[in-house]
Amino acid sequence: MHFSKYPAINTRLAKDDKLFIAIMNLDKKQIADLKSQGVTLTEGIKDALVHGPGRFHPNNPTYYFWDRFCCDFGELPPKEFAEIITMLSKEADSLIFYNPVLWKSRCLNCLTDPVALEAVLTSFNLKRLTKADLMKVMIDADAANCLPLCEKSGWLKKTEVRDELIEYSGKGEKTECTAWLLEFKNRTGNPGKEQARAERKAEKELNADPNSPAELKKSWKFKKQEDGTLIITGYVGDRENIVVPEKIGDDVVSAIGESAFSPHAKRLKVWTSTFRQVIKTVTLPSSVTSIGERAFFKCLGLVNVVVPDSVFSVGDKAFFGCERLTVTVGKGSCAEKHCERNNIAYNNG
């Protein structure tokens, strides 16, 4: 196979790296010749492979290289992918950076084949990997032959992850994956112990105060600001009709952060992203004074957000793409003016 028709080796970062080009072409004679001459990967390629693409910018050669790099692997048979990625990791003398977005969108076939997956497990730095999400990608492809590798890597140790995947596979009617996961549960599970644990958990949840800090932390991600108040950075609960708390513990909630409710926020788990699309209503407390950019961006199921008069700042595209939304605002308020400027339906309660 001649790899020059693929774009990564023609990027500014890679076009002068002879060893990288030889590896991408799987030209083993050329690789051996270059290594006998002491040729190594350039520092630019090593740095890109180990540390990743960085932020998108038209003048960022590393990002452009990574985009092309992932596209190249999307065209490769799994066996060739495994050979190339293993050699690159060895020559870089390090695990390769794993970018969940680029790999899942560009080279899905390399994540649903056992030969390629084994190379991913041994050659990539997987700290950024949400393992349950990747296993759902395998289930979507009904790639049951990949699941033994997940077991071997310890990804299925947690019973809640195992049961979540069984439910996901069953709903998707992925028969081979469902059968394998049920066999795994029967082979490794302890029914009595798991039942007792489930009963204790259910009793604890039944008796828990829904407004306690411990319970609120299950539904909300937040950060403390310099003034001591909290900014909500993300909703991770499972309610369709949401009331944002005025306080979490002793700290007042004063802001809704960027993309806090958006299903298109960065680094979301698949379940959280999916659920955010069916949120129906959100009521903000009077302690909130600002709403960040894209806070509700493309919440397709959202029909109403109640915004108090205390809000004096609404970020760009805060309600963009919410096609069914009507915002409840105070007359003459900052939120009302934002809705008028952006042609967003609103009422005055």
Where a domain ends, among 78, 101, 127? 127
Where a domain ends, among 157, 188, 207? 207
Mark whether 113 and 188 lie in a shared domain.
Answer: no
pLDDT for 188: 87
pLDDT for 7: 52
Q: How far apart are CA 183 and CA 162, in angstroms?
A: 11
pLDDT for 146: 93
Question: Tokens for 238?
Answer: 């499972």
Question: Tokens for 305?
Answer: 């957000």
Where a domain ends, among 72, 98, 127? 127
Mark whether 93 and 165 lie in a shared domain.
Answer: no
Tens-digit pLDDT profile for the chain (349 aa)? 334 445 556 566 777 889 988 888 888 999 999 999 999 998 988 988 888 776 656 567 777 777 777 766 767 788 888 998 899 999 999 988 876 655 655 566 677 889 988 988 899 888 777 788 889 989 998 999 999 999 999 999 988 899 999 999 998 899 999 999 999 998 887 776 767 766 676 666 555 566 677 778 888 999 999 999 999 999 998 889 999 999 998 899 999 999 999 999 988 887 788 889 889 999 999 999 999 999 999 999 999 999 999 999 999 999 999 999 999 999 999 999 999 999 999 999 7
Show the domain range for 21.
1-127
Q: Which of 293, 222, 224, 221 is nearest to 259 (CA)?
A: 293
CATH number at residue 270: 3.80.10.10
Query: What's phi and psi for 204, nearest 5 deg?
Result: -65, -45
Whether the model pTM is above 0.75: no
Mark whether 189 and 235 lie in a shared domain.
Answer: no
Mark whether 121 and 168 lie in a shared domain.
Answer: no
SS3 state of residue 254: strand
Mark whether 4 and 105 lie in a shared domain.
Answer: yes
Q: Residue 41: CB partners within 8 Å, gap ≥ 6? A: 17, 19, 20, 49, 88, 91, 92
Mark whether 241 and 328 lie in a shared domain.
Answer: yes
Residue 67: other Cβ atoms inside 10 A: 17
Mark whether 312 and 220 lie in a shared domain.
Answer: yes
Mark whether 172 and 235 lie in a shared domain.
Answer: no
How many domains in the chain? 3
Mark whether 102 and 196 lie in a shared domain.
Answer: no
pLDDT for 69: 73
Mark whether 192 and 258 lie in a shared domain.
Answer: no
β-bridge mates for residue 230, sequence order: 224, 253
Q: Residue 346: CB partners within 8 Å, gap ≥ 6? A: 326, 327, 328, 329, 335, 336, 339, 340
**What letter represents residue 90's amino acid?**
K
